[in-house]
Amino acid sequence: MELLKNVISFSEAKRTLLTHLQPLERIERLRLSNAVHRVLARDIVAELHVPPFDRAAMDGYAVRSVDTEGAKPLEPVVLKKTGIVHAGEYPKISITPGTCVQIATGAVMPENSDAVVMIESTECNDEQVSIYSSVRKGENVTRAGEDIKKGSVVLKKGELLTPGKVGALAALGLEYVEVYALPEVALIPTGNEITKPGMKLEPGKIYDVNTYTLSALVSSAGALPFVYEITGDDEQAIEHVLGNALKHDIVVFTGGSSVGERDVLVNVLRKNGEVLYHGIAVKPGKPTLCAIVSGKVVLGMPGYPTSCLTNAYALLLPAIAKLMHVDFVIPEVRAKMGRRVQSTIGRLQFLPVKMDGEIALPAFKESGAITSMAHADGYIEIAENVDVVEKGEEVVVKLFWIARKTS
């Protein structure tokens, strides 16, 4: 029976895990309308100018700027209106000296015109347009390619598609876009004592919690959870499900809260691959296991719900982020500790807290409790070299809501 005496530090555990993972190179072709928050797998080179043509930036009259020279409020220049161009039309009229064409914002500039006099600086009687203000060449005109030049690199491989970037791809007329595939996370509940929610609970059994919290976390990170059926604590069953699950990008076992159960998993992993570590100097979440099997990272999470979920926030999320080519932005707030909390030198502590205004109140009950996490708004980290956080001390709370940004 192993008692997890050889634990490693949390930072080493995280570093070791991340070293064994590489950003996914698999590519998917998606409709642009489904691509928000995905990561570009190719540089995007513009195949057209944006805007595609010189266009009016204001409602008004398209003119030859030289014809407006000297126009003033009391000395207007009068031009003959020879037509009108709406947005979306291609103008057939050309501007000749002394003439102008009424034009809508966004419409194509007619041939020979080089500026727009805004409607507010004009007056129109029949076909006679009085221009009360002169315009420079190019005034109130957006030139073709001014926003995006044909042939330029608009967005680069690795950029996360925010709504604004999706818009740039739309402006280029792209219907599809190539992005990196999302990480597939296999979640395998183990333990003879656990029962799937919705089923009748037999005496001595408890409902599966960890598959649900981890699956929710994986989804909210934007990755894809693949939940396996509950597997009993025997080596053959675990070996079988492991073989199936290795097709995914990362494999996570949950459960096995007792030392004996953990031994079953560690034996299977030793037999099929290499165990990188088994035990982290962190509270809660010490009995966490990391192995490499057939080139894939396999994590064994602690069976206790709070331990499992805090370690998933601390270890599984950075792993997913790396596979996904992103960083997660975990919103943080500064708070004052609501009461004195003790910790242990040499061991990192994740303490779930509930926010009460600017006060952070410890929400931790025990590793086995699910309500520690259910009623918490976030958690604080108490470093390895800190043994006490005093009441009123300032702490940084990492909140349980995730956003993403380009890494």
- Minimum distance of its own copies from residue 190's CB (angstroms): 11
| Residue 79 or 373 having the CB closest to its own copies | 373
Instruction: Specify the residue, 340 or 405, whose C-beta has the smaller distance to its own copies.
Output: 405
Distance from C-alpha of 368 to C-alpha of 360, rounded to nearest angstrom: 22
Nearer to its own copies, 208 or 249 (CB): 208
Q: Classify residue 72 by burial, with Cβ atoms within 10 Å: 0-12, 13-18, 19+.
A: exposed
Question: Given the complex with its own copies, which of 199 and 388 has the nearer CB atom?
Answer: 199
Nearest distance from C-beta of residue 326 to its own copies, angstroms: 10
Min dist CB 247 to its own copies, Å, is 20
User: At closest approach, how far in Å is the CB of 292 from its own copies?
Assistant: 26
CB 240, min distance to its own copies, A: 19
Residue 369 or 386: the one with the smaller Cβ distance to its own copies is 369
Kindly state the smallest distance separating residue 14's Cβ from its own copies, in Å: 19
Q: Nearer to its own copies by C-beta: 75 or 175?
A: 175
* Residue number with CB closer to its own copies (134 or 254): 254
Which residue, 215 or 288, has its beta carbon nearer to its own copies? 215
In angstroms, give the least distance from the CB of 123 to its own copies: 13
CB 171 within 8 A of CB 148: yes
Distance CA 269, CA 127 (A): 86
Q: How far is the CB of 368 from its own copies (least distance, A)?
A: 6
